């Protein structure tokens, strides 16, 4: 099948967009020239005169799709509306009605600590750990929050917090586990706390347990069977194929998004999707001989929803393209505007499929959530560290 679009420009295309639309090749028609690009936008063939001309007619794009049958599902959202801006960065954000007023709040953290803010209002609560560096957090039911904190001298010093009218209160502290609230039964509620053991050599340990709080202590309830490369940050339990058995969504070490079933990978994105400018390093060795064992990022947890209201659940995830990823450690600051981010939907219809939702945007998307019929997300721009701006967006579906 061939698709002709005279209004599409080559500069507007990305490999991620071509893959999400299942385009195999791109033909660019200019004056006296036809250029052929593959799905990675590599020029593979041309016909005609490639000499420079001062006056060139606008390019016309013709794309050919792959031979397999694309999904018939239609996903559409309204263009995003910006709800607000603030100076500074948001490393991670989740959206939920934590104070039970039927309106969503944004929970996020940055270098100053953990914050809860009204979407259109002020700060509800703020919390700063006494020691260590925040890695990430996850929001559970009834105001509970699992906060992962890393101390380079003591390992994990994670905490369980509870939001009340008095603010954020630490209930259980100094937990040597990587914590995560998940929807363990894939029913749409993140009400199960699981903890992964901390490994001082590789950060993510080999065992994962369901945890229960009793008398302000955590009790091990049962061990969870996971793959050897499981990471309890940014992971989610879902049932996209609707067979009654949960799949586990997790990020691979190379940044690709993967789906596991019975500890085996059954699907993975064809390219890395997760990038971030904030990181926590696990470093070992004597002074002057330090070795970086692991770099940990606050990956965005995919969000379960029914985006096209067909009573079949999908997940939303973020794909970020950051060309300076390999050299960012050599830079005085990270130019966040050199990255582009885009929201995708991942579902199941005889097989797993994913499609883009809307256009890509300049900057890093660091938070994603759904409340009622709205998709909320944070987009960070500027130079990190030192001169950043965080934008909050809403798209209605």
pLDDT digits (tens, 9 = 90+) for 166-225: 999 999 999 999 999 999 999 889 999 999 999 999 999 999 999 999 988 999 999 999
Residue 348: partners with Cβ closer than 8 Å, 6 or more residues away: 240, 241, 242, 312
Confidence band, pLDDT 50/70/90 cuts, at residue 20: low
pLDDT digits (tens, 9 = 90+) for 350-377: 999 999 998 999 999 999 999 999 999 9
If asked whether residues 24 and 134 sit together in one domain, one would say no
pLDDT digits (tens, 9 = 90+) for 231-280: 999 999 999 999 999 999 999 999 999 999 999 999 999 999 999 999 99
pLDDT digits (tens, 9 = 90+) for 278-337: 999 999 998 888 999 999 999 999 999 999 999 999 999 999 999 999 899 899 999 999
If asked whether residues 174 and 96 sit together in one domain, one would say yes
Tokens 């499981």 appear where? 230
Asked, for residue 2, whether it belongs to a domain, the answer is: no
Confidence band, pLDDT 50/70/90 cuts, at residue 4: low
If asked whether residues 181 and 32 sit together in one domain, one would say no
Question: What distance in Å separates the CA atoms of residue 291 and residue 308, rounded to the nearest whole number?
Answer: 48
According to DSSP, the residues that pair with 374 across neighbouring strands are 371, 396
Any idea of the CA torsion for 395, 87, 365, 116, to the nearest 10 degrees?
Answer: -70
If asked whether residues 158 and 287 sit together in one domain, one would say yes
Q: Residue 257 in contact with residue 272, Cβ under 8 Å?
A: no
Minimal CA–CA distance to 249: which of 262, 264, 270, 234? 234
If asked whether residues 27 and 86 sit together in one domain, one would say no
Give the count of domains, the chain: 2
If asked whether residues 40 and 178 sit together in one domain, one would say no
If asked whether residues 148 and 275 sit together in one domain, one would say yes
If asked whether residues 194 and 278 sit together in one domain, one would say yes
If asked whether residues 185 and 44 sit together in one domain, one would say no
If asked whether residues 111 and 42 sit together in one domain, one would say no
Asked, for residue 70, whether it belongs to a domain, the answer is: no
Neighbours of 260 (CB within 10 A): 20
Token code pair at residue 105: 């709040």
Q: Residue 215 in contact with residue 161, Cβ under 8 Å?
A: no
Predicted confidence (pLDDT) at residue 55 exceeds the cutoff of 50: no
If asked whether residues 19 and 106 sit together in one domain, one would say no
Confidence band, pLDDT 50/70/90 cuts, at residue 35: confident
- Among residues of the chain, what percentage have pLDDT more than 90? 76
Question: What distance in Å separates the CA atoms of residue 302 and residue 141, rounded to the nearest whole number?
Answer: 17
Asked, for residue 69, whether it belongs to a domain, the answer is: no
Tokens 């992971």 appear where? 235
Q: Which strand ranges, in their side-by-side order, compose the sheet holding 264-268?
A: 236-238, 247-251, 257-261, 264-268
Instruction: State which residues form the domain around 43.
Output: 10-48
């Amino acid at each position: 099948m061939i698709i002709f679009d005279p209004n599409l420009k080559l500069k507007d295309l990305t490999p991620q967009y071509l893959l999400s639309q299942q385009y195999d090749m791109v033909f660019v028609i200019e004056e006296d020239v036809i250029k052929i690009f593959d799905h990675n936008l590599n020029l593979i063939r041309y016909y005609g005169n490639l000499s420079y001309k001062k006056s060139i007619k606008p390019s016309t794009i013709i794309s050919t799709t792959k031979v397999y049958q694309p999904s018939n599902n239609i996903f559409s959202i309204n263009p995003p509306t910006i709800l607000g801006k603030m100076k500074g960065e948001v490393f991670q954000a989740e959206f939920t009605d934590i104070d039970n007023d039927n309106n969503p709040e944004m929970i996020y953290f940055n270098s100053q600590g953990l914050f809860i803010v009204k979407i259109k209002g002020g700060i509800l609560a703020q919390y700063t750990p006494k020691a260590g560096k925040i890695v990430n957090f996850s929001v559970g039911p009834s105001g509970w929050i699992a906060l992962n904190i890393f101390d380079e001298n003591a390992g994990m010093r994670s905490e369980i917090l509870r939001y009340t009218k008095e603010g954020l209160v630490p209930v259980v502290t100094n937990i040597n586990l990587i914590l995560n609230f998940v929807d363990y039964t894939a029913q749409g509620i993140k009400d199960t706390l699981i903890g992964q053991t901390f490994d001082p050599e590789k950060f993510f340990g080999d065992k994962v347990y369901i945890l229960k709080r009793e008398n302000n202590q955590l009790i091990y309830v049962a061990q969870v069977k996971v793959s050897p490369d499981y990471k309890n940050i940014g992971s989610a339990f879902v049932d996209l194929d609707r067979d009654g058995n949960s799949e586990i969504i997790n990020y691979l070490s190379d940044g690709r998004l993967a789906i596991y079933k019975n500890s085996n990978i059954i699907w993975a994105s064809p390219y890395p999707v997760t990038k971030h400018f904030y990181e926590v390093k696990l470093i070992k060795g004597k002074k002057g001989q330090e070795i970086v064992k692991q770099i940990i990022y606050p990956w965005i947890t995919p969000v379960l929803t029914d985006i096209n209201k067909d009573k079949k659940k999908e997940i939303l995830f973020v794909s970020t393209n950051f060309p300076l990823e390999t050299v960012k450690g050599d830079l005085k600051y990270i130019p966040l505007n050199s990255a582009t981010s885009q929201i995708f939907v991942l579902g199941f219809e005889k097989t797993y499929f994913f499609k883009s939702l809307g256009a890509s945007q300049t900057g890093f998307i660091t938070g994603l959530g759904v409340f009622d019929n709205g998709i909320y997300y944070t987009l960070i721009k500027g130079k990190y560290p030192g001169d950043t701006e965080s934008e909050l967006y809403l798209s209605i579906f």
